[in-house]
Amino acid sequence: MAEYLRGMPDEVGSRPKALVVISGHWEEKVATIQNNPAPPLLYDYYGFPPSTYQISFPAPGAPEVSARVAELLGAAGIPYKYDNARGFDHGVFIPLKVAFPLADVPIVQLSLLASMDPAKHIRLGQALAPLRDEGVLIVGSGMTYHNMRTLMGNMRGGSNGHAPDAGSQRFDDWLEEVLTKETPEVRIAALTKWDRAPAARDAHPREEHLLPLHVVVGAAVNDPGRRTLKDVVMGAVESAFRFG
């Protein structure tokens, strides 16, 4: 996974003007746009070694991109608000410190909706789609499998990564089919009813780590998806997908 993240800039190609990141660790009643020119880090985890609370990642914010996100959401009739104080949560600074270690690409974080409505998250992405032609990379930071009971049980059991959880494989197979082989119309319809997929609620007892994908799929419009990573993490299959 670290190797994949380190290769992200080369995978993308041209250097992004900025990143708009949707993390599984921020939920608000309305879409909330980080509007902090110098976001601090939110160490929103517990029980880890002291060094993990001393991580530095001084990536700047981008108020002009925040304003553009607000403009696009407003034009789509999507309610929004700004948060002028919030820092980057670990769904942002942990992966992006690996991908962009110089912390020299501006980042704006956008919240999930507390409603957890999949169609509304796809609509968020559809509203943000013009950013892609403006040099902004839209990143969904979550996990394709996030059943912590299973993951922690696998870790305590000493899973060696060679026999992934069967439910994670079934859900991953479904995701690959929907994201890489179906038409845009079919994939949107399928993701709107994602909880009917094989082993869906085993993979995501709560969907906050899946919904960043819905935003990215909405922004993808008609671009086909392709898998860029498949790994076994703590005994479960985890994948990454790219559009465009």
Q: Is the pLDDT of residue 83 over 60?
A: yes
Confidence of residue 128 (pLDDT cuts 50, 70, 90): very high
With a pLDDT cut of 70, the percent of the chain lying above it is 98
149 with 170, same domain? yes
Q: Which domain holds residue 212?
A: 143-244
134 with 154, same domain? no
Please state the domain count of the chain.
2
11 with 124, same domain? yes
Cβ contact 26:112 at 8 Å: yes
Q: Which of 141, 169, 204 is the last residue of a domain?
A: 141
**Residue 196 amino acid letter:** R
122 with 163, same domain? no
Mean of pLDDT values over 227-238: 92
Mean of pLDDT values over 59-70: 98
Q: Is the pLDDT of residue 151 over 90?
A: no
114 with 5, same domain? yes
Q: Which of 97, 112, 141 is the last residue of a domain?
A: 141
- The answer to which of 106-115, 158-167, 191-200 has the lowest mean pLDDT is 158-167
pLDDT reported for residue 160: 52
Q: Is the pLDDT of residue 165 over 90?
A: no
| 170 vs 156 pLDDT, higher one | 170
CATH number at residue 26: 3.40.830.10
pLDDT reported for residue 158: 58
Q: Is the pLDDT of residue 63 over 60?
A: yes
pLDDT reported for residue 43: 96
Q: Is the pLDDT of residue 161 over 80?
A: no
197 with 137, same domain? no
Q: Is the pLDDT of residue 201 over 90?
A: yes
119 with 160, same domain? no
133 with 169, same domain? no
107 with 207, same domain? no
Confidence of residue 180 (pLDDT cuts 50, 70, 90): very high
SS (H, E, C) the chain: CHHHHHCHHHHHCCCCCEEEEEEEEEEECCEEEECCCCCCECCCCCCCCHHHHCCCCCCCCCHHHHHHHHHHHHHCCCCEEEECCCCECHHHHHHHHHHCCCCCCCEEEEEEECCCCHHHHHHHHHHHHHHHHHCEEEEEECCCCCCHHHHHHHHHCCCCCCCCCHHHHHHHHHHHHHHHCCCHHHHHHHHHCHHHCCCHHHHCCCHHHCHHHHHHHHHHCCCCEEEEEEEEECCEEEEEEEEC
pLDDT reported for residue 101: 96
124 with 155, same domain? no
Query: How high does pLDDT run on average in the chain?
Result: 94
pLDDT reported for residue 115: 98
54 with 171, same domain? no
Q: Which of 84, 114, 141 is the last residue of a domain?
A: 141
137 with 167, same domain? no
With a pLDDT cut of 90, the percent of the chain lying above it is 88
pLDDT reported for residue 213: 98
Mean of pLDDT values over 31-37: 97
